[in-house]
């Protein structure tokens, strides 16, 4: 029996791809909003963290 036949027996299985697309869309829209609304100086400080040495 093929996998698609198992999916046909699940009630409401057609809504799961739409929910996952919606979550994917919200995550990346939030990420884009965070990047464009953040302070440039804060991003420069975060960018240089791996290069700083602690002595």
Instruction: Judge contact between 7 and 13, C-beta under 8 A.
Output: yes
User: pTM score > 0.75 for this model?
Assistant: no
State residue 1's pLDDT score.
60
Question: Can you count the helices (H) and strands (E) in the chain?
Answer: 3, 0
Q: What span, in angstroms and rounded, lies between the C-alpha atoms of 6 and 3?
A: 5
Higher pLDDT, 9 or 41: 41
* pLDDT per residue as tens digits for the range 5-27: 777 777 777 888 899 999 999 99
Nearest to 34 by CA among 23, 43, 45, 25: 43
Higher pLDDT, 13 or 43: 43
State residue 52's pLDDT score.
74
């Amino acid at each position: 029996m093929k996998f698609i036949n198992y999916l046909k027996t699940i009630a409401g299985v057609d809504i799961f791809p739409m929910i996952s697309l919606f979550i994917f869309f919200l995550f990346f829209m939030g990420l884009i909003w965070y990047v464009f609304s953040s302070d440039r100086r804060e991003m420069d400080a975060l960018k240089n963290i791996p290069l700083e040495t602690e002595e």
